[in-house]
Amino acid sequence: MSFLAVVRRGMRSGSQWLLWLLLYTLVPGRCFGEPPRDTLTPTQAKAYAEVLNMRPAAARALLNGSDAGTLLVQDCLGITELLISQDASRYAATVQAQDQRLKQLQQLPAGALPAYTAAEIRLHQAAAQVVFGHEVQGAWSLRQSYLAMQQVVRRYPQYLPARKTLGMLQFFIGSLPESYRWFLKLLGLPGSVEAGLHNLRRAAAEPNDFQLESRLILALLEETYYKKPEAALTLMGTLQRQQPRSQLLSYLLISQLKKQHRTDEALAAYRTRPTGPEYLPLPYLHHMAADLLLYQGQYAASQHENLLFLQQYPGQHYRKDAWFKLYLAAWLGGNPAAADKYRRQIGAGGRTVLEEDTYAQRFLEDRQPLNPVLTRARLQIDGGYYRPALATLDGFEPTATTPLRDRLEEPYRRARALHLLGRPDSARPYYARTIALAGTASYYFAPQSALQLGYLYQAEGQAATARAYFRKALSYPRHEYKNSTDTKAKLALKELGE
């Protein structure tokens, strides 16, 4: 298993990886109570705020000097521009600038901020190297950053930003499925979910200059892995209202609304997001909007947004997913010629590191036609239109020749709609039917059904039954969403004392 696969597949699933990369590289921070040289100056803090706003020219105009705070904010700006653009032509210059900053830091007096800045820049470098396929260098940079951040926490235990970053690393490494953790152990990078959460919670709870960012990271972790959606959404909504000029916060709010099936609100937030030439282009927003419009059945508008995304985005991730969604929009919109053209493009480029892209590639290779009724229902459920989805599913009429995939998907979709409508007792039999029908089939419907049943029984205090279903979710050897499913099941079992 390559380092690239370990980090991307294990730590991040689907569209969530971009969100984690953004937060991972955009949150430096400082702690009151340290000597003056270990705090950002007001000008540096203002420049960093512009980095968060994704206004690079405004941030760069405020940065001058070679002290640790300036070097840290400069590096946050550089890695932000690289990761957002996904432009491979910027990679070499970005890494070269990072190496130069690391040399400059060696000439500075010792302190929490210089030590933290060096470890953080090395982490930014690891992120750049992994994203652009330089796996061996990325592995070494990650190891250097992890060990250096541990040293910062030991030498400056009250310096909370280091606990925030170390906590994230500990959590993600500790939450990896066992099949991936061995590689990072070889590098001497042990993880711990408990230690990671402890450090993150301390950075989020105790006053420091970037306490809200620490709270945001923690809320997103808890939403993703511990089923606490409302807290995350409330925090992001509050932050976005307080800082309406921040494109990052706007992106996070849209992403969270989409994830929580609140399509109408997500589209409203998309249409009122900050825009203008002063902002760093964020093409992925068009891809998210295309999904939202697809959920609503606005097929032409969805195609327009995804074509904008592909036109503006030079990166290799999400490309297969975008062509797949273009196929769905044309197919469901009654344009078979365009649908066939888009379908062929799925295999023409892009990578299959992310689960969305893997799913699109598998659809292409499977050659089994999608069922239009089930596909519409899935999109309606993803969009939060649960009652219309149930009505759509009533139009599904299986026959003796109906493929197993479709016979599994129908009860699974019913279960999801009923579950999300707040009717768990009605959802349970459909989840159970999906599991019973699936056997060892390599589709994701059964493992996801087991995971959801585990959550339902956990919420009701039936720990033994919940454990059995989480173990069942882990037992499936191969399916499209195995990495994210296994991570969630594993963390749920930890919560139950296993």
Q: Kindly state the DSSP code that residue 278 receives in the 8-state scheme.
A: T
Radius of gyration from C-alpha coordinates of the chain: 23
Smallest CA-to-CA distance from 145 within 104, 177, 98, 110 is with 98
Only one residue has tokens 């036109």, namely: 311
How much is the pLDDT for 184?
A: 67
How much is the pLDDT for 5?
A: 40
Give Cβ neighbours of residue 43 (< 8 Å, ≥ 6 apart).
62
Q: What six digits make up the tokens of 296? A: 């609503």
Give Cβ neighbours of residue 71 (< 8 Å, ≥ 6 apart).
101, 104, 105, 117, 121
Smallest CA-to-CA distance from 221 within 164, 273, 183 is with 164
DSSP codes of every residue in 160-175? HHHHHHHHHHHHHHHH
How much is the pLDDT for 30?
A: 37
pLDDT in tens, the chain (498 residues): 333 343 444 434 444 545 555 555 554 443 333 343 577 889 998 998 899 899 999 999 999 999 999 999 999 999 999 999 999 999 999 999 999 999 999 999 999 999 999 999 999 999 999 889 898 899 899 999 999 999 999 999 999 989 999 999 999 888 876 666 666 666 778 788 899 999 999 989 987 767 777 888 898 888 888 888 888 999 999 999 999 999 999 999 999 999 999 999 999 999 999 999 999 999 999 999 999 999 999 999 999 999 999 999 999 999 999 999 999 999 999 999 999 999 999 999 888 888 899 889 989 998 789 999 999 999 999 999 999 999 999 999 999 999 999 999 999 999 999 999 999 999 999 999 999 999 988 899 999 999 999 999 999 999 999 999 999 999 998 887 888 899 899 999 989 987
- Asked if residues 96 and 88 have their Cβ atoms less than 8 Å apart, the reply is no
Helix axes 112-131, 16-26, angle to 10 degrees: 150
- Asked if residues 255 and 216 have their Cβ atoms less than 8 Å apart, the reply is no
How much is the pLDDT for 35?
A: 41
Angle at 171 between CA 166 and CA 175, to 5 degrees: 150
Smallest CA-to-CA distance from 317 within 279, 275, 361 is with 361
pTM above 0.85, yes or no: yes
Smallest CA-to-CA distance from 80 within 154, 25, 3 is with 25
Q: What six digits make up the tokens of 330? A: 């044309």
- The span from the CA of 468 to the CA of 496, in Å, is 11
- The span from the CA of 414 to the CA of 423, in Å, is 11
Q: What six digits make up the tokens of 462? A: 């039936």
- The span from the CA of 179 to the CA of 438, in Å, is 24
SS3 384: coil
- The span from the CA of 34 to the CA of 40, in Å, is 11
- The span from the CA of 275 to the CA of 246, in Å, is 10
- The span from the CA of 243 to the CA of 245, in Å, is 5
Phi, psi of 402 (to 5 degrees): -65, 130
- Asked if residues 57 and 236 have their Cβ atoms less than 8 Å apart, the reply is no
Phi, psi of 49 (to 5 degrees): -60, -35
Q: Please give the span between the terminal C-alpha atoms of the chain, in angstroms, as a whole number.
A: 26
How much is the pLDDT for 361?
A: 93
DSSP codes of every residue in 76-139? HHHHHHHHHHT-GGGHHHHHHHHHHHHHHHTTSPP-HHHHHHHHHHHHHHHHHHHHTT-HHHHH
How much is the pLDDT for 22?
A: 54
